[in-house]
Amino acid sequence: MFLDDTIKHFMMDLRARNRSDLTIVGYTQRLGVLVRLLWELCQVRDLEKVKVLHLRMCVQHLLDVGSGGFHGRAAVATGPLSANSVRAYVRVWKAFFNWCYQEELIEVDVVTRLRSPEPVKKIIPAFTVEHIQKMLDTCDTSTDLGFRNYVILLLFLDTGMRLSELAGLNVGDVHEQFVKVLGKGRKEREIGIRPEVGKLLWKYIHKYRKPTNSSEVALFVSDRGCRMNIGTVKEVLRSVKKKSGIDDVRVSAHTFRHTFAKWYLKRGGELFKLSRELGHSSIKITEVYLKDFGSTEAREDHNAFSPIGLLDLGKRRRKKKDVSE
């Protein structure tokens, strides 16, 4: 049984399970790299002939040489991939062979003993108030696009939503106190918004949003009047970075997400609620976003949350010494 044919059936099953388009594209690319490497490195095309040794050779090739000009969903310069990037490939490959085993297409689950490279622990620095102000100052709010960009930046900061979630927003997803987003795994969730941001969204929708077609449902539209996709939102952030002159921190939706998480906790928010607003399936995932949340920041709210605050130490009286002693 050829790998190519099996992968097609696997992708059909993913679509039947309602996986997102981004997931489908990512799986297709990473499995395509696997098929090519298995042939180039091991001369293997049949599913039944794939061994764990072959997969380990493919993993090592990604670490030493690269994927051949593609990573994720975009073309990149050729070169070795980071351990974190290779782990993403291994996750997809494992999912595929696990599926093959469950479907009884192979007798042995060959990925049981396939290990991912150890992850590189990176700390993504958050924005400061000065960073945010510089970015907002680049937006000319007297123009349609300037006001739109201003709202986009504030919405990223106020919600910590993912880039794909913002690009997928529709006008009907905006409510007075929250927005509805479609997150990973097509899971819908609500994220609260500050009243100030809610008012700006209302103003953008009714005054500055200029869709070409009256039936356009997208919340954020481009200068051509159609939905902004992930690429056009990224272009806005690149333009903001260039105009603001910020060069000591990455200007990206992911950095806004980290900033939201850090500031949320710093201002007294609960970790569990933060995890749910970010759309994480586990608090452990949320904790990854908070590696730069140090003890200095943690102690700032010590007085407000210390159990000593439950005691009335001011009324405590010294015990009188017993005269008979």
- Can you tell me the distance from the alpha carbon of 8 to that of 16, in angstroms, rounded to the nearest whole number? 12
- Can you tell me the distance from the alpha carbon of 66 to that of 167, in angstroms, rounded to the nearest whole number? 30
CATH class belonging to 129-298? mainly alpha
Helix (H), strand (E) at residue 88: helix 83-102
Q: How confident is the model at residue 192 (pLDDT cuts 50, 70, 90)?
A: confident
Average pLDDT over every residue of 244-273: 86
Q: Summarize pLDDT for 282-304 with one digit per residue, the tens.
A: 676 666 656 655 545 545 555 55
Q: How much is the pTM?
A: 0.65
Q: Summarize pLDDT for 146-184 with one digit per residue, the tens.
A: 999 999 999 999 998 999 999 999 999 999 899 998 877
Q: Summarize pLDDT for 216-243 with one digit per residue, the tens.
A: 999 999 999 999 999 999 999 999 999 9
Structure tokens at 261: 């998480």
For residue 37, the tally of other CB atoms under 10 A from its CB is 22
Bridge pairing between strands 70-71 and 74-75: antiparallel
Residues of the chain with CATH 1.10.443.10: 129-298
- Can you tell me the distance from the alpha carbon of 140 to that of 137, in angstroms, rounded to the nearest whole number? 8
pLDDT at 322 over 80: no
44: left (phi over 0), alpha (psi -120 to 50) or beta: beta
Q: Summarize pLDDT for 32-46 with one digit per residue, the tens.
A: 999 999 999 999 999
Bridge pairing between strands 188-192 and 178-182: antiparallel
Q: How confident is the model at residue 249 (pLDDT cuts 50, 70, 90)?
A: very high
- Can you tell me the distance from the alpha carbon of 163 to that of 152, in angstroms, rounded to the nearest whole number? 10
Residue reference for tokens 């905006």: 174
Average pLDDT over every residue of 244-266: 89
Structure tokens at 306: 């210390």
pLDDT at 264: 82
Mean pLDDT of the chain: 85
Look up residue 102 and give its DSSP letter.
Answer: H
More confidently predicted of 204 and 70: 204
Strand ranges (E), the chain:
70-71, 74-75, 178-182, 188-192
Structure tokens at 181: 């987003």
Judge whether 144 and 208 are in contact, CB under 8 Å: yes
**Neighbouring-strand partners of residue 90:** none
